Each structure stands twice: as structure tokens, then as C-alpha cells.
Structure 1
Amino acid sequence: MGCLTVGGGKDLAVLVLHGIGTYSGQGRMKRKGFDQPLRAALESRLGADFQRIAWCPITWSAPALERRQDALIRERGTPFPWSGLFEFVSSFLSDATAHNLPLYGEMNESSSYFIVQQLIRGALVELEAQLGPAAESMPVLAIAHSMGCHVLSCYAWDARHAPERILGGNAPELGPLTRFQALETLSGLVFVGCNLPLLTTNVARQRLLPLRLPRRPAALGGGRESLWLNIWEKNDPLGYPLSNEYEAYFSGGFDAEELARWKRDPASEQRPQDIEVKFGGLAGATPLAHTAYYHSRRVQKRITDVVKALLG
């Protein structure tokens, strides 16, 4: 998976998830290295403190799904000069529909949802092995772009409420989820170009449950607060603010019986902070803004500040 844990003294694990797109190596996107612009910026901005980070990019886009997307686009054909737009839309829609629970709720190795869950767990297993016993109590910062926000949210929900969707399959030897693999030490979130509001319109806002992030995570000593930033650009057609989505949850408008059912307490959880940014150049004036987050110096600075805060 390309996790960087060289050297000891790690104080923070950083997971980086990509967004929509085909990562099949056909030149449109890099299967490996999507995180390079962000990682290079943080290395420069943090200096020696970057060595305190266990950096782990997670490529969740399954090759089988990519091949099917490519076939759909190839068989249909795309009109010039809109081929890029057609591929972008097709990739978003197919990623979104593929990451739904399979028909009849059956989990099997042919299900894209199941495969994605296994890919995420596989990355966490690898990182945990490199970190050793320190992983059990190490704070985790998850940075996710676009569809990666949805993928991460589904994994975190399943780890807490439906671990059978992650366990078994092609890796039964892994056994139950560990604390680290279940993201129980999650201490920070940064969403960029998040399209969760587009994918949850089938649920009334009064019933929307956000990803659970404790306000004062035990992994931070129980004293420092967690951070959840949601960064979006107005020209990004897939990037949305989150505050309105979870207003009912954090402002006392959520059903008490539902809270008890899911063992949730909004008062003890961190709410997302929306941050609108403006990109310069072509990205700042077109829908290309959706692909510019990890390259933006404004975004890189915000993420650097989050890392510094979590490192203490």
C-alpha cells in the first residue's frame, strides 16, 4: 500500500484516501502516488516533525470495478471534445452505485462494497504491523477526498455496527478487527470535495448520523480536542458543506430513542467545520476544482495545521 513508517517515534497515523476516478494506469490517474502532492507539501511544511507521522495512502478503487468502468465508456463511446467530461461523470456514478450494499444484503467476493472494505482493512493491517504495539493507542487522522469520504464513513460505520461486512471473505485468517483496524483511535478528519450530501438524499436530515468522532479522544490523552474540517470550493460540482446536513443531530433535533439504539451522544462528538476555499487558475473557475484539493497550497496549509494540532 506504500505506507511510510521508516524510523521510530511515531505519534500520529495519517490515512489518505483518493476520490472518484479510474486508477487503471491508462494515464488519467496514478494508481500509486495520488497522495504525492500533499505528502511533499507536508514534508516541507512540517520539517523534522514529519518523521513523527506514519503516512499511509489507501487506494480503495478496486481493479475489477475499474475494468468495468473502462468497458462502459469504451463500448458507449464519447463525443469529442467532451470525452473527459463523459469519463468523469461515468466514473462518479459507477463508483457511487458500486459502493452500495449488494442486493439482498449478501456479502461475497464479487461485491464491490465487500472488496473495498477489504482493501481498506488490508491497508490498516499492513500499517498496524509496521507500527507494532504502539498502534493500539496511536491517534489516527483520516484525510479523504470526494467519494473517499463516503468509503471511509461506510468502513467506520461497519467497524462499529456491522463488522461482519468487513471480516471473512478472502482474509478469514485476520480474525476480529483490532482497535486500530476498527478506527477506535480516530482523532481527526479532513474531508475535501466531499459529496456525502449527494449520496444521502434518501435519508431525512433529521435522521442523518455523522461519522462518529469523539470530541476528546482517549488517544489524545482525553484532554485535547479532535478536529474535523470539511474543505470545499464553490466551483466544485461534487463538493458540499456538511454543517446543514448534521444540524439536527448536533442541535438536539435527533430522536432520543435512535440515539440510544446506536449508543450515540452528540454532546461528546466533534461536529464538522466547513471551510470554503478559493482556487486560483483554471481550477478556480471551472468544475476542475474537484481535482485540485491535494494540489492547493491553501488546503495543504489547513491540513498542516491539523497535523500540528494532533501532534501537540
Structure 2
Amino acid sequence: MKKVALITLHGMGKYKPNYYADLEQSLKDMLGDDWAKVSFQNVQYAPILQDPQNELWNDMSTEPNNDLDFVKLRKFLLFGFGDAGTIGYSSNRNREKYIKVQQAIEQTLAQAYLDLSKQENKPVIILAHSLGCQVISNYIYDAQKDYNLFETALSGSEDETKFKKLKSCHHLLTTGCNIPLFVAGIEKANRVAFTRPTTDFIWDNFYDADDVLGYPLKQLGDDYNNMVSDHEINAGGFLSSWTPFSHSQYWDDKDLLRPLVKTLKAHMK
């Protein structure tokens, strides 16, 4: 029987459907037979944003008057910050894509709920990377305030709705988190976070000092300072750990995997 759900969210940039594959293998190796107790579910929100980005890039790159240099860097910035910009725009203007992203999370949680034998109090652990940290933060905040996706009743039973609102979420692990990019222009007193979903809720934030897209969070304001534990790690191997490319290396790092395995085992009882 599944004892705990592990939900992952990918970051910004070019979409890779199997973004979780290396993490899954590492966890299987470290947990052994206990892996069978984990409902491993992976949110796929990038396809909602990727097609328009591909169309825009194709229009730009095929225009004969556009002689663009640094193509790889341009595509990284367009696909990466295009994700963030679209979600930000959608949350304040046309909410269609913003809500579709939240629906992708809801659908993933619905599968976890079934996998956990429809027991709404089974623990949920969330691992989010990069833009996924902002995405899941918005989801939890909106669920608690009944905003956006949660303005109307969700499909399913009352117990399933509680589960989808992450009322049994006990641990959030964020890596390469760029929430500060979204709130930098807001006064410190107004940088509010969601409240703890459970009394024993833990938020561990992992960042590499060489990762220009990953930040500590405690300095954002009282809400974050009282809830987040920041951990500086050296993500990546010899060639990447001291460069901005460390942004994509967190989920292979033992300093992340060890506490993740520890919290999974703690909730298997």
C-alpha cells in the first residue's frame, strides 16, 4: 500500500517530459523496497506554455531581416522567462493559462489521491524546481484563499478536495527557487506567503551561490523568515558546480537527496 505521495514540479525552459527520470532512479536506489510505498507523481505544466513559445521563436528565426546571434542563449531566455512572464501576465489579465497550470497540479494530485487509496490525510511531500517553486507557492496560497481555480467547487468528494488543497502537505523542498524575481518590486511588508498547511509543515529551500536563478528566501519578509529554512549547497559536478549551469543540477545532489529520503521514510509509518 502506498504510504506517502511525492509530487514534483519542473522549472522554466525547454520542456523535457521525463525531467524527473534521474531523480526517480536515485530514489529507487536509495529507498530499495520502500520505494513501493511512494506514490510518485509529476506535474507537467510546460506544454500549456510551450506551443506559443515555439511559434514565436519560429516566427522570429525565419524572418529574413532577423539576423540573431547567441541562438542558444536567446532560446533559453525566451523559453525560460517566457514561462514566468506568461504566468505572471495570465494571473493579472487573462487567467486562462494561469488556471490551466493550476489544473495540471490538481490533476496530478487527483492521481495521487487514487494511488493512496482515497485517504485524504495521507502525507504529501512536494519537490519543486526553479519556476515550479513560484507555481506551487501560488497554488497553495490560492487554495487557502479560494482564489482562481478554487473560486468554484472542485470535482470530487469533500475529502478529495481537502487533499487537492494540500491540507496534508507536510514538507516542501524547493531548489533553484526564483520567487524573489516575482516579488522584488513589492515592499517587504507586503511580501506575504501562504500559511502552514499542517502544524508540522517544513519548507527547506536549497540554493547554490553560483546559481543566478536560485535564491535564499528568509530575507523576503516575516512570513518566509518564520517558515523557510535556507540551505546553501554546491550543486553539480566539477565542471558545473561553480557556474550558473548549477541551476539544473540540484536533483542529483546528495545534500538534497538525503533529506528528501529521510522525510519520505519518516512518513511511511
TM-score of the superposition, structure 1-length normalised? 0.76
Superposed CA RMSD in Å reads 2.5
**Corresponding residue number in structure 1 for 2:165:** 182
Residue aligned with 1:285, SS: coil
Structure 1 residue 167: Cα displacement: 6.1
Q: Give the letter aligned to residue 168 of structure 2.
A: T
Percent of residue pairs bearing the same amino acid type = 26
Give the aligned partner of residue 70 of structure 1: 54
- Counterpart amino acid of 1:184? K
The answer to whether the Cα contact below 8 Å between 1:62 and 1:116 also exists between their aligned partners in 2 is no
Give the Å deviation of 1:236. 1.0
Question: What amino acid is the match of 1:203?
Answer: I
- Change over 3 Å in CA distance of 1:139–1:22 after alignment to 2: same
1:230 pairs with 2:205: yes
How far apart are residue 57 of structure 1 and its match?
0.9
Q: Is 1:284 equivalent to 2:269 in the alignment?
A: no
Q: Give 2:64's aligned residue.
A: none
Contact 2:178 2:214 in 1 (8 A): yes
Q: CA deviation at 1:124?
A: 1.3
Q: Deviations over 1:185-207 (max 9, x none)?
A: 11001000000011111322222
Report what 1:115 is aligned to. Answer: 100
TM-score for both structures, normalised by structure 2: 0.87
CA contact (8 A) 2:170 2:202 kept: yes
Is residue 217–residue 224 contact of structure 2 (8 Å, CA) maintained in 1? no
Distance in 1 (CA, whole Å) between partners of 2:183 and 2:260 is 26
Q: What residue in structure 2 maps to residue 94 of structure 1?
A: 82
Moved over 4 A (4+): 103-107, 171-177
Aligned match for 2:41, one of 56, 62, 85: 56
CA drift of 1:105 comes to 5.3
Map 1:265-284 → 2, pairs under 5 A: 271-279=227-235, 280-284=237-241
Question: How far off is 1:157 after superposition?
Answer: 1.2
Q: Does the CA contact (< 8 Å) of 2:99 and 2:148 recur in 1?
A: no
Who is 2:117 aligned against?
A: 132
- The 2-side partners of 1:175 and 1:309 are apart by 28
Distance 1:174 1:101 in 2: 30
Unaligned runs of 5+ in 1: 1-7, 24-29, 217-224, 252-265
User: Contact conserved, 1:227 with 1:306, CA < 8 A, in 2?
Assistant: no
1:1-312 matched pairs, under 5 angstroms: 8=1, 10-23=2-15, 30-31=16-17, 33-63=18-48, 65-77=49-61, 79-80=68-69, 82-100=70-88, 102=90, 107=95, 111-134=96-119, 136-166=120-150, 174=156, 178-214=161-197, 216=199, 225-246=200-221, 248-249=222-223, 271-279=227-235, 280-311=237-268
* CA shift for structure 1 position 156: 0.9
Structure 1 position 79, deviation (Å):
4.1
User: 2: CA distance between counterparts of 1:293 and 1:149?
Assistant: 13
Residue aligned with 1:34, SS: coil
What amino acid maps onto 1:40 in structure 2?
Q
Aligned 8 A contact 2:11 2:129 in 1: yes
Asked whether the 8 Å contact 1:62–1:112 carries over to 2, the reply is no
Deviations 1:142-187 (A, max 9, x none): 100000011101111111112453466xx97558771101111110
For each residue in 1:8-36, what CA deviation from the matched residue of structure 2 results, as whole angstroms up to 9, or x when unmatched? 1x22111011000232xxxxxx21x2111
Aligned residue pairs, count: 262
